[in-house]
Chain A
Amino acid sequence: MSQTGNTLEMDVLYFAWVRERIGLPRETVTTEAATVADLVAELRSREARYEAAFEDLSALRVAVDQELTDFDAPLHGVREVAFFPPMTGG
């Protein structure tokens, strides 16, 4: 994806009830966030539906470029960030 200065463009994906609360499965976000936590803060400040989805981070997991990681993960060079509840496979 493109990168100009500190501005990043990335795909942000939502799954399960996070997707339902936000009301869409994916979107392209242009951001200056340095970490996942910064991106979350930016999204939360947008609209109530984001606030509702991100109100309890302990109930959420995050993957960066399709690998599980933590909320303090850096976003530099990242193309895809996904937010979802704890997984329930098997």
Chain B
Amino acid sequence: MRIVVQETPFDFGAEATAFANGRHDMGAVVTFTGIVRDLAGGGLEAMEIEHYPGMTQKALETIAEEAVSRWNLGDALVIHRYGRMTPGEQIMMVATAAPHRKDAFEAAEFLMDYLKSRAPFWKKEHGPASAEWVSARDEDEAALTRW
């Protein structure tokens, strides 16, 4: 299990390849990448992500440990950035490895659902005229109830 919280960009291809390589007992690797999306009408200058340095790593580890205990997983990877990013940049990724794909898919979804609303990150969208904190969505909170 590897949890990385960093400001700098990561190489998604290299991370995915390194994560998938050399596993003879894992038949499935699932990856997900979150990307900075422009506003509906365009004009997003930057997405700023604030986090709680003392808590972030621990919170992500707790979520990943929960995933490993609930599904038959061989390994899990979470990389999450903070700081200022522009549309198209990769914000974060998760990867899961399991003997079978169902565990890998479900655990990846679980990781995503939990780190959206239980990991201490806050997004702020900088538009041309103003900057606004992104509100948490009710659907994101509701998504946790299915687990």
Contact = CB atoms under 8 A, between A and B. Distances in A.
A15 B49 CA distance: 11
Contacts of A82: 52, 55, 120
Given A15-B122, A84-B122, A90 B116 contact: yes
B115 A89 contact: yes
Interface of B is mostly: mixed
B112 interface: yes
Contacts of A80: 54
Interface in A1-26: 13, 15-17
Given A63-B52, A90-B112, A84 B92 contact: no
Q: Most chain-A CB neighbours within 10 Å: which of B55, B59, B92, B117?
A: B55
Contact of A87 (B34, B54, B112, B119): B119
A17 B124 CA distance: 9
Contact of B115 (A16, A66, A85, A90): A90
A86 interface: yes
B141 to A, nearest CB: 7
B92 A87 contact: no
Nearest to B117: A87
Contacts of A87: 116-122, 136
A88 interface: yes
Interface of B: 34, 50, 52, 54-55, 58-59, 80, 91-92, 112, 115-124, 133-136, 141
